């Protein structure tokens, strides 16, 4: 299993309940597909470096996890089809 980290930015118009539901949804995708969550760090609402679709801020979440090489592809697919996610990135942790 390899170590990965993902950061995803959720829309700022979501309420606290919807934000937590989205975080749990993505954690569930990782665990359901054989991954192991190491750490979840919610950074909260922050200003974006540049506007994305006329949105100037978002809710940031960092998730460190271990998984095989197929899981990041499935996770990225779910990020892309989710209307709540503005941006995401998944990188292999080289530590």
Structural tokens at position 5: 């980290």
- Please give the CATH number for the structural domain made up of 2-92: 3.30.70.60
pTM of the model: 0.90
Say how far apart CA 27 and CA 22 lie, in whole Å.
Answer: 9
For 38-72, how does the pLDDT look when each residue is reduced to its tens digit (9 = 90+)?
999 999 999 999 999 899 999 999 999 999 999 99
What end-to-end distance do the CA atoms of the chain give, in Å? 13
Of 51, 58, 56, 53, residue with least CA distance to 7: 58
Q: Tell me the average pLDDT of the chain.
A: 94
pLDDT at 94: 82
The phi, psi pair for 47, rounded to 5°, reads: -75, 135
Q: Domain extents for the chain?
A: 2-92
Contact, 75 vs 26, CB < 8 A? yes
pLDDT at 53: 87
């Amino acid at each position: 299993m390899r170590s990965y980290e993902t950061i995803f930015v959720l829309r700022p118009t979501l309420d606290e309940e919807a934000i937590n539901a989205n975080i749990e949804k993505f954690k569930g995708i990782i665990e359901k597909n054989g991954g192991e969550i190491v750490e979840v760090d919610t950074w909260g609402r922050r200003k974006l470096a540049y506007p994305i679709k006329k949105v100037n801020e978002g809710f940031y979440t960092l998730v460190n996890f271990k998984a095989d090489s197929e899981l990041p592809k499935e996770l990225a697919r779910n990020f892309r089809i989710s209307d709540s996610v503005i941006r995401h990135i998944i990188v292999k942790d080289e530590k």
